[in-house]
C-alpha cells in the first residue's frame, strides 16, 4: 500500500531521516516507536507529504508522490490526490473552535470532495456515530473533553473514506484518564481492517495491534518485526528502550 525507499530529510543543516526503507501492506497495522527525536513523526508525515522528503521514493499503490529514485520513471501523483487517500490524526486535534463537532467533520467533505452542505453533514453524522459521539454533534470543541476532541478528529479522518490513516501520537496530549477512550476507538478502527500507521508511546496498545513494529533512533530504523517483536527483538538498544518504558 505504502512503500518508502531511501527517504532522507533535513531541517536546515540538521538531517533527521537517513535512508528510510519501509513497506506498509494493505490492511496492516504498523507501529513506529522509539525515543523522542528519533524521527518517527517525520517518517509518518512524509507519508502524506506534510514533511516532503529531500530524496527518496514515496509510493502509494505504485504511484510515486515523492522525489523518486534516480533512473526510475512511472505514474506520478499530486499532494491533493495523496491526501484524499491517506488520512491523518494529529497529536493536537486541530479542530476549528468556531465549528461544532458535526461541522468540523463535515467541512473537509465539502472542501475536498465538493459535497453539498446537507450531504456532508449527513456523512459527518455517520462518522460521529462510529466513534460514539453522535450525541455531541452540536457541541463546540471547548465543550468537549480532550478525548472527545480526538475522537472527533478520528471521525473527521474516517469520513473522508481514506485507504490509510496515519496517527501521530494521538494520545500524548491527553490526561491519562482520557487515553483509554481514544485507544478504544482506534482499536475499533483497526478491527475494520483499515490500514493504519501509528506513532505512539502506548506500547501496551502497540503490542495489541501491531502487525509490524518499527523501532527508530537517531533518524534510522534500528530494527523491525512482526507480532512478538517486543519479546523477541535482537537489537540491544531496542531491548534497553523497552526495558525502560514497559
b/e sequence 221-231, b meaning 16+ C-beta within 10 Å = bbbbbeeebbe
Tens of pLDDT, residue by residue over 145-171, are: 999 999 999 999 999 999 999 999 999
Considering the four listed CATH numbers 1.10.3720.10, 3.40.50.300, 3.30.360.10, 3.40.50.280, the one that applies to the domain covering 2-98+162-245 is: 3.40.50.300
Q: What DSSP assignment string belongs to 42-89?
A: HHHHHTTTSS--SEEEEEETTEE-SSB-TT----B--HHHHHHHEEEE
* Closest residue by Cα to residue 211 from 190, 184, 180: 190
Per-residue confidence (pLDDT) for residue 137, from 0 to 100: 97
Q: Return the H-helix or E-strand segment holding 224.
A: strand 220-225
Per-residue confidence (pLDDT) for residue 116, from 0 to 100: 95
Per-residue confidence (pLDDT) for residue 129, from 0 to 100: 96
More confident of the two residues 6 and 70: 6
pLDDT of 182 above 90: yes
b/e sequence 99-131, b meaning 16+ C-beta within 10 Å = ebbbbbbbbbbbeeeebeeeebbebbbebbebb
pTM: 0.93
Whole-number Å distance between alpha carbons of 168 and 199: 5
Band of pLDDT at residue 142, cut at 50, 70 and 90: very high
Within 8 A by CB and 6+ apart from 185, the residues are: 131, 132, 151, 154
pLDDT of 218 above 90: yes
Tens of pLDDT, residue by residue over 70-123, are: 888 878 898 888 988 999 999 889 999 999 999 999 999 998 889 999 999 999
Question: Among residues of the chain, what percentage have pLDDT more than 90?
Answer: 86
**CA of residue 225 relative to chain centroid, distance:** 19
Tens of pLDDT, residue by residue over 30-85, are: 999 999 999 999 999 999 999 999 999 999 999 999 999 988 887 889 888 898 89
Per-residue confidence (pLDDT) for residue 33, from 0 to 100: 96
pLDDT of 195 above 90: yes
Mean pLDDT of the chain: 94
Amino acid at each position: 500500500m505504502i512503500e518508502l525507499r531511501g527517504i532522507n530529510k533535513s531541517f536546515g543543516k540538521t538531517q533527521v531521516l537517513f535512508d528510510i526503507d519501509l513497506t506498509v501492506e494493505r490492511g496492516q497495522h504498523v507501529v513506529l516507536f522509539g525515543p523522542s527525536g528519533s524521527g518517527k513523526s517525520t517518517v509518518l508525515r512524509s507519508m502524506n507529504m506534510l514533511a516532503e522528503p529531500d530524496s527518496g521514493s514515496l509510493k502509494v499503490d505504485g504511484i510515486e508522490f515523492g522525489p523518486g529514485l534516480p533512473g526510475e520513471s512511472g505514474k506520478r501523483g499530486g499532494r491533493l490526490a495523496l491526501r484524499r487517500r491517506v488520512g491523518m490524526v494529529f497529536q493536537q486535534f486541530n479542530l476549528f473552535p468556531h465549528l461544532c463537532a458535526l461541522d468540523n467533520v463535515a467541512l473537509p467533505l465539502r472542501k475536498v470532495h465538493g459535497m453539498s452542505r446537507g450531504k456532508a453533514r449527513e456523512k459527518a453524522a455517520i462518522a460521529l456515530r462510529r466513534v460514539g459521539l453522535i450525541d455531541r454533534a452540536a457541541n463546540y470543541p471547548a465543550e468537549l473533553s480532550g478525548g472527545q476532541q480526538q475522537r472527533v478528529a478520528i471521525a473527521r479522518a474516517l469520513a473522508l473514506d481514506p485507504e490509510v490513516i496515519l496517527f501521530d501520537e494521538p494520545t500524548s496530549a491527553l490526561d491519562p484518564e482520557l487515553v483509554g477512550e481514544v485507544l478504544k476507538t482506534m482499536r475499533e478502527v483497526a478491527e475494520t481492517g483499515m490500514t493504519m500507521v501509528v506513532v505512539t508511546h502506548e506500547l501496551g496498545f502497540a503490542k495489541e495491534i501491531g502487525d509490524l513494529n518499527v523501532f527508530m533512533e537517531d533518524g534510522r530504523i534500528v530494527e523491525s518485526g512482526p507480532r512478538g517483536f517486543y519479546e523477541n527483538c535482537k537489537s540491544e538498544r531496542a531491548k534497553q528502550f523497552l526495558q525502560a518504558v514497559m
